[in-house]
Amino acid sequence: MMNQAQLRAIFNKTAGHCHFCGDEIIFERRGWALDLSGYWEIDHVIQRHKGGGRSPDNCLPACTRCNRLRWHRTGPALRELLELGILAGLEIRRGSPTGKHLQDFHAKQLAVNIRRRRQGRPVESGALPSLTHRGG
What HEC string does 77-122 produce?
HHHHHHHHHHHHHHHHHHCCHHHHHHHHHHHHHHHHHHHHHHHCCC
Please report the pLDDT score of residue 136 as a whole number: 36
- Is pLDDT above 50 for 17? yes
Question: In percent, how much of the chain has pLDDT > 70?
Answer: 88
- Is pLDDT above 80 for 116? yes
Residue range 32-42, pLDDT digits in tens: 887 889 999 99
Residue range 63-92, pLDDT digits in tens: 999 998 888 788 899 899 999 999 999 999
Q: Which amino acid belongs to residue 109?
A: Q
For the chain, what is the mean pLDDT? 86
- Is pLDDT above 80 for 15? yes
Beta pairing partners, 40: 30, 63
pLDDT band (50, 70, 90) for residue 130: very low
Q: Mean pLDDT, to the nearest integer, of 50-57?
A: 92
Please report the pLDDT score of residue 117 as a whole number: 77
pLDDT band (50, 70, 90) for residue 96: very high
Please report the pLDDT score of residue 106 as a whole number: 94
In angstroms, rounded to a whole number, what is the distance separating the alpha carbons of residues 25 and 41?
10
